[in-house]
Structures are given as C-alpha cells and as structure tokens.
Structure 1
C-alpha cells in the first residue's frame, strides 16, 4: 500500500481557492453536487478548500461526473513511462462508491478527505477496499497480486529496469504471508489493519498528504 501513487493525480484536480466565491458553482454542470454545508459536514475540508477542489474537478470534468475512461486518461498522463490503465481501473472502483460507473464530485471529495485527513483506521479501511477487488470483504493473494502488478506496470520498466518479471509475485508472497495470520488463504480487514499498523513504511506513507491542500 503506497499512497504516493495518488500524488500526481491529485495535482490535476487541486486549484487555488477564490476567496470571493461564496458557494459551489452549479449552473454549468449536469450533475449538481450536494450543498457546500453538507459536504463540510461529511468531510474534513474547509469551505475554501471545497471551492478549490470543485473548481479543479469541474475544469477537468465539466459534466460534474467522471466516467472510467476519462479517469484513466487523466491519471495515465502522469505516468507516461508505464501503463497506468489497470491501476486506474482499480482506483476508479475504489472512488465509485455507489458502483454506477461514474464518480461524482461528492464521491471524489469524500474519498479524498479520507486519504488526506482521515484517521489511520479510515485510511486503512479505504486501502482495504481498494485491494478487495470483488468487494466480498476479503483480500485474496490473487487480488493483491493484481493490484501489485498494476502498480509495477504503471511505474514502468524505465523506472524499475532491473526488476525481474516475478518481482510482484515475490513481493505479494512475502507480504500476504505476513498478513494472513490464521493461514486460511484470505486476509480480513482485522488482519489487514493489524499488519499495516505494525509496518513502519506503510505508516510513514500515510502521512504524506496531510498538508497537500
């Protein structure tokens, strides 16, 4: 689990806030997000931060909705050295909480609030959802390997030219064994939480975005 994979994508949607604007601009979009006050209650962002995020989101997605192909195009432009398509697919599914094939501003900003300002428990719960591809409440070795391969593909051979083809599998074998405490072949949310909180590298990576906005 490495939150740095989101850094470049976030730079695409973060824009400077305009202090003269008193509310979200709603007139030019087909999907109208929830009111500013409600989003403030649901997230840990200030009014100005929400205005800034909305402006950046609307600039990239004038309709107020992001479909998967648009999400992949936006995300992939920051990783030209590799193929970010598969990882972007998994990330899109994590943001698309109602599973209707598009990300609303509300979906995006609530997820972003967790990643940037959430508690350790909230962040790890979001990460578990990312790895739990079929959303059955468990992470299998195959699911973890699929995510790991997508990250290696995204970073590209240019970034990691000396990696062997079986490097993702070796990484997953080692980490999955550490997580699967009862050796039943799946990782539960409790096993995931416990293992990640004991891993110094994971805990350090979770602090990177707390002051992004």
Structure 2
C-alpha cells in the first residue's frame, strides 16, 4: 500500500484520494500520520476495528454491527483495512452527501456482496443495529419497531417487495430517499 511503512503518503495514493474524496492534501497527510500511529502495520484488523467501533457505543453490543461495517469497507476482501479503504470509508460516511451515504448503506445491507439486498439480509443488519440500541432506549421504541424482526419488516415494507424478492441499489436509494422513516430505520446514532 504505497509507502505503508514510511512516514509519508505516496504521491500516487495522495492524488487518487484527492480525486475521490472531499479531503485536501493536508487533511489526507494528517489522517495518514494518525493512521500510522494507530496502525503501525499499515492495516486495521477486524478485531482492532471492533475495539475502535465499540468506543462509540459503550452501552451497547457493537461487535456484530462493526463486523458488517468492516466487511462493507474492506473493498478488496483481504480481511484488513488499508489506509485507502479507511479514508474512502471515512469520506463516504462523513461527506454529508446523502447519495454517498446511501451507497455505503446499500453495501452494508448487501451482506453477500451480490449486488442485491434480500429480506434475510435486511433482518441480519437490523439485528446488528438493534444490538447498538441500549436496553433503556429499546423500551422507548414504537411497538412496530421494538424488535429486530419488526424493524426489518417495517423497513422491508417501504420497498413494496415480496418475502423472496430482492432490491437493487437504485431501488434501495430511491426507497430510502423518499421515506424519512426508512432512512431512520437503516441506522442508529447514539445520543452524545
């Protein structure tokens, strides 16, 4: 991965990231320095990622969700995140552009990476999301989404698909964009 062991980002990687993210050269260099300090090997393992992720959800079980997030970020399927995957993921999840975030959300829900989402995959991700919600907050949820199964059923109903049908990325993005409840159901953000 470029100059993974040295202290600077390779020019090739820097140009690639400047073209494909919102980050400036200075920001990329700063992220790289921090990445190198936190991950001297130049890679983040699933266990390291889970540990980092769990800090954002101290009152919850973030392990399953972190595993799915990690899978969606590991674009080359090598079982680790390198600096480029890390920065692209950071860009996609923090850019502010809804379309980018929804593209990432689709990849999160597409558990088997076949380009489609099934109801079973929606259920799997809703179960992982539900584990992020602290028990006291779960008790406050509306009755039609107070279990992972109900949450998945409610989300799936927005797409008007049968039990064994599937959703393509465009359908997913359109369905979530057109419905605030669907957008809320595909995520959980802790109150800080």
Normalising to structure 1: TM-score of the pair?
A: 0.73
Instruction: Please name the residue that 1:191 is paired with.
Output: 171
* Aligned residue pairs, count: 182
Q: Distance in 1 between matches of 2:155 and 2:116?
A: 15
Instruction: Please name the residue that 1:86 is paired with.
Output: 64
Q: Distance in 2 between matches of 1:25 and 1:86?
A: 29
Q: Distance in 1 between matches of 2:28 and 2:47?
A: 25
- Mark the runs of 5 or more structure 1 residues left unpaired by the alignment: 1-23, 209-213
Q: Distance in 1 between matches of 2:44 and 2:12?
A: 16
Q: Distance in 2 between matches of 1:96 and 1:42?
A: 17
Residue 115 (structure 1) aligned with residue 93 (structure 2): yes
Residue 75 (structure 1) aligned with residue 53 (structure 2): yes
Q: Distance in 2 between matches of 1:88 and 1:120?
A: 21
Instruction: Tell me: higher relative CO, structure 1 or 2? Use CA pairs within 8 A at least 6 residues apart.
Output: 1
> Considering only aligned residues, what root-mean-square deviation do their CA atoms show, in Å?
3.2
Residue 178 (structure 1) aligned with residue 178 (structure 2): no
Q: Distance in 2 between matches of 1:81 and 1:126?
A: 25
Q: Distance in 1 between matches of 2:135 and 2:161?
A: 33
Task: Compute the displacement of 1:72 (Å).
Answer: 0.7
Residue 46 (structure 1) aligned with residue 46 (structure 2): no
Q: Mapping of 1:1-213 within 5 angstroms? A: 26-27=5-6, 35-117=13-95, 119-161=97-139, 167-181=147-161, 185-200=165-180, 202=183
Aligned partners of 1:65 and 1:102 also within 8 Å: yes
Normalising to structure 2: TM-score of the pair?
A: 0.80
Residues 187/180 of structure 1: CA separation in 2 closer, same or farther (3 Å cut) = farther
